[in-house]
Amino acid sequence: MSAHLPEIFLALMGLAMLAYVVLDGFDLGVGILLPGADDAEKDTMIASIGPFWDANETWLVLGVGILLVAFPMAHGVILSALYLPVTLMLIALILRGVAFDFRVKARARHKHLWDRAFFAGSALAALAQGFMLGAYILGFDWGVANFAFASFIGVCLLAGYSLLGASWLLIKAEGELQRKAMRWAQLALWLTAIGIAAVSVATPLVSERIFAKWFSLPAFIALLPIPLITGVLLFIADRALRRMRRGLDVAVWQPFACSVGLFVFAFIGLAYSLFPYLVVDRITIYDAASAPGSLWIILFGVAVTLPVILIYSAYTYRVFWGKATALKYG
């Protein structure tokens, strides 16, 4: 069992990071879309994520925490290479959290300033996370072309979060805001697809090992469902959005479910490509793992913490499900 502890912690860290991208992704997306709404719609948009956004960020803390305590060597290499974008992301998340609370209590003439701050924090966090993903895939090689690629992935992840946010608003909003969300989702869908394709193409090109994992037989045939299902999800999401814009009867949850599916299958493909490395072709999970005794102690802590987060999150979404109304403090 001890021999498999690094793999268990890798799976737990992957679960936490995927949960963060999907859950905090939609509320970051709502913040990114904020400038396209009028004042009343902005209140509804903020209310749609009000009960969830801070709990969603817990998954980021859990994922980075597991990286720190279970794989300290990799944590040092990754965070050192990404020091600046990580700092920018943290500043953005702080700005976003402050703006969320102050915009509700601010006087009318100051409210638009906090709306801009909330947008800026959301957009900067998304761009920084996408840049980090692009740099990570390329093994932290800071050539000009690689920097441009990482920046492009930042824009694509911003579009991906916008897709999640717009799809979330289809579920939570009504009337004109819901119609705007349909347009936003359609615009973001295909840029998200381009980003997924760019990561999918770049990952095997940076490593002969990854290329062989994907394109040798019989692995190539076994892995075909990943791109095929991704293509089907894109088709279903686009078709649903087009039908909704024509006023046809479509379940409002379809685009959001497809958007989540796109991120899940992109994550599966990336995880398969990278395993067992935490830093591409440099540091494996076995090289970076803490001592088995330490991992057992950490595993006990995660076994207590993870169910609490899951139960709390499920309860929150259960209680606050339904259409959003303007956020107010009594």
**For the segment 50-101, what is each residue's pLDDT rounded down to a tens digit?**
888 878 888 998 899 999 989 999 988 998 899 999 999 999 999 998 988 8
pLDDT band at 112 (very low <50, low <70, confident <90, very high): confident
- Does 6 fall in a domain? no
In the chain, what is the greatest distance between 2 CA atoms, to the nearest angstrom?
Answer: 64
Where in the sequence is the domain holding 72, given as residue range(s)?
14-319
Closest to 268 (Cα-Cα) out of 304, 305, 233: 233
| Count of structural domains, the chain | 1
Q: Is the pLDDT of residue 152 over 60?
A: yes
Task: Specify if 7 maps to a domain.
Answer: no
Whether 232 is in a domain gets the answer yes
- Tell me: pLDDT of 327 over 70: no
Q: pLDDT: is 167 or 106 the higher one?
A: 167
Task: Lowest mean pLDDT of 103-107, 135-139, 317-321, name the range.
Answer: 103-107
Per-residue pLDDT, 293: 86
Residue 41 pLDDT level (bands cut at 50, 70, 90):
confident
Say what the pLDDT of residue 226 is. Answer: 93
Q: Is pLDDT at 294 greater than 80 in this prediction?
A: yes
Q: What pTM value is reported for the model? A: 0.91
Ramachandran assignment for 140, one of left (phi > 0), alpha (psi -120 to 50 degrees), beta (any other):
left
Lowest mean pLDDT among 65-79, 219-233, 242-256: 242-256
Answer yes or no: is 4 within a domain: no
With CA atoms as reference, report the closest residue to 53 among 324, 265, 296, 330: 324
Q: Is residue 1 part of a domain?
A: no
Determine which helix (DSSP H) or strand (DSSP E) holds 255, and give its type and residue range.
helix 254-274
Look at phi and psi of residue 277 and say left if phi exceeds 0, alpha if psi is from -120 to 50, else beta: beta
Read off the pLDDT of residues 186-205 as tens digits, 9 standing for 90 and up: 999 989 999 999 888 888 88
Q: Is residue 253 part of a domain?
A: yes
Q: How far apart (Å, rounded) are the C-alpha atoms in residues 287 and 310?
A: 30
Q: Which of 149-163, 289-303, 310-324 has the lowest mean pLDDT?
A: 310-324
SS3 state at 321: coil
Indicate whether 19 belongs to any domain: yes
